Amino acid sequence: MTTPESAIALVIAAHPDDGDFGAGGYCSVLASQGWEVHFLVCTNGAKGTADRTMNRDRLIAIRREEQEEACRRMGVRGVHFLDNEDGELVYDRRLLDQIVRHIRWTRPHTVFTHDTDQVVRDSFINHPDHRATGTATLDAVYPTARDHLNFPEHLEEGLEPHKVREILLWSTNHPNFEVDFGEMVERKIYALSAHASQVGGQKDFATFARDRWKADDGRYLERFRRIELGF
Ligand SMILES: [Zn+2]
């Protein structure tokens, strides 16, 4: 694809590892082409371990470190975390404010996030944190971040209104855009394997992942619902 004037992408995910699973291949491709890629993780990652000896603060710290390492492996420029409780994310003004602030700060051409459908491909239920993140992100992109009258206090902090040009939703029922990330398959696996607290227990994770991403014709594809914002 042609590189736009502002080659900046922002991945907005609910939990550590979501953005990597959803878009880690394409993000690695973009980073290798010189794009500045940022990650925003909307919860603190304090849930989802079967380890009864794990304490919550330690889990939060471990998940952060893992996401930071995964981002380094993908060539991502920066990763930020919001302090919202994992498993309890709701879409409210505060979440919208946090996401709008981040969009105005990073000024992305492309935003990646979760699709907001509750049931995906009749095969799994989309986590409520994912849906809250996706819904707040779409509203942040349009119309909230564009208009200086929304969260006008941002102006005082030097955060100007911003128009995102492209949205890519992963785990979608309506894919209309696919990316062949064959050159970055091993990089995506390497990035995901940094999330040892989440994928470390899975035997043969790499084999499982390669099989899952491989299309019938042998290509490795990430599929998105793509929305181009023309105005
Ligand atoms: Zn998640």
Strand locations in the chain (E): 8-13, 36-43, 78-84, 110-114, 119-120, 124-125, 166-170, 177-180, 221-228
Q: Is 194 exposed, middle or buried (0-12, 13-18, 19+ CB in 10 A)?
A: buried
Give the H/E segment covering residue 183: none
In sequence order, which residues have a C-beta less than 8 Å from that of residue 211 and are 6 or more positions away?
none
Residues 15, 54: Cα–Cα separation, whole Å? 18
CA of 5 to the centre of ligand 1 (A): 32
CA of 107 to the centre of ligand 1 (A): 24
**Residues 192/17, Cβ–Cβ less than 8 Å:** yes
Residue with tokens 């499982």: 208
CA of 4 to the centre of ligand 1 (A): 30
Residues by chain with Cβ below 5 Å of ion ligand 1: 14-15, 18
CA of 133 to the centre of ligand 1 (A): 10
Ordered structural domains, the chain, with CATH: 8-228 (3.40.50.10320)
CA of 160 to the centre of ligand 1 (A): 30
CA of 66 to the centre of ligand 1 (A): 14
Supply the pTM of this predicted model.
Answer: 0.95
CA of 130 to the centre of ligand 1 (A): 6
CA of 152 to the centre of ligand 1 (A): 31
* 175: three-class secondary structure by DSSP: coil
CA of 114 to the centre of ligand 1 (A): 9
pLDDT tens-place values along the chain, 231 residues long = 556 778 999 999 999 999 999 999 999 999 999 999 999 999 999 987 778 888 899 999 999 999 999 999 999 999 999 999 999 999 999 999 999 999 999 999 999 999 999 999 999 999 999 999 999 999 999 999 999 999 999 999 999 999 999 999 999 999 999 999 999 999 999 999 999 888 876 778 889 899 999 999 999 999 999 999 988
